[in-house]
Amino acid sequence: MRSAARVVAVTLAAAATAWGTAAHADDVQGDLHGYYGGERVSAYVVGGMGAAAAAGGGYLVTRDSDFARGLGWPWLVMGGLETVGAVFYAFQVGGEIDHYGAVLARDPAAYRAEELDHLRGTSSRFVVYRSVELALTLGGAGVAAYGLAANRDAWKGAGLGVASLALPFFVIDTLNDGRASRYLDEVRRYQPVVGVQPAGGEAGERGWTVSLAGRF
């Protein structure tokens, strides 16, 4: 009778563990797709802005106005670079969704360790990106102010061109950094469920226990 009760208890506990594992995997799968989906949308936005700026810059550099040419060159160069980078990043994000989704399904503990390392690197890179973008914004504003004070149209255009692109990219990367930080917190809280384990030796010696490593 006692043996039968133990079998029933182990069966129920194993079922609860399997249900909990699936539920937690679904939660973190949702977080994973939410984060990388946001990154892909951001890449599309940056790519669209960059393409529009590059097209506008290409037109402006053909004008006779010093201001127009000064404005056009930063738009053409910076916009073109951002467009190319955004296209490559959009493809990269698609690969990351497939990769981390597969690792999570195969080995949740490995997913957690790998994703934590990846997100820490991402957060550190955002510090660099935002610092450069903020410096370009302030530098461009300074150049435009100089051009205004000296009545030099080319300098006014160049400064405005740099600042007008660097500032929105700084804002976008600030939002991206916040999203990465929230996802990093979710991955930190995620603790894969450990399945049914034999208690004190081989199965049958001292029965079975179910242990949970933790969860969200």
pTM for this one? 0.77
Among 11-25, 88-102, 139-153, the least confident range: 11-25
Q: What is the pLDDT of residue 27?
A: 81
Dihedral of the alpha carbons of 33, 38, 41, 42, in degrees to the nearest 10: -140
Taking only the tens place, the pLDDT of each residue in 205-216 is: 444 444 444 443
Provide the pLDDT confidence category of residue 24 given band limits of 50, 70 and 90. Answer: low
**pLDDT over 90 (residue 13):** no
Taking only the tens place, the pLDDT of each residue in 59-101 is: 999 999 999 999 999 999 999 999 999 999 999 999 999 999 9
Q: What is the pLDDT of residue 15?
A: 39
What are the residue ranges spanned by the domains of the chain? 29-188
Going by their DSSP bridges, the two strands 208-210 and 196-198 should be labelled as antiparallel
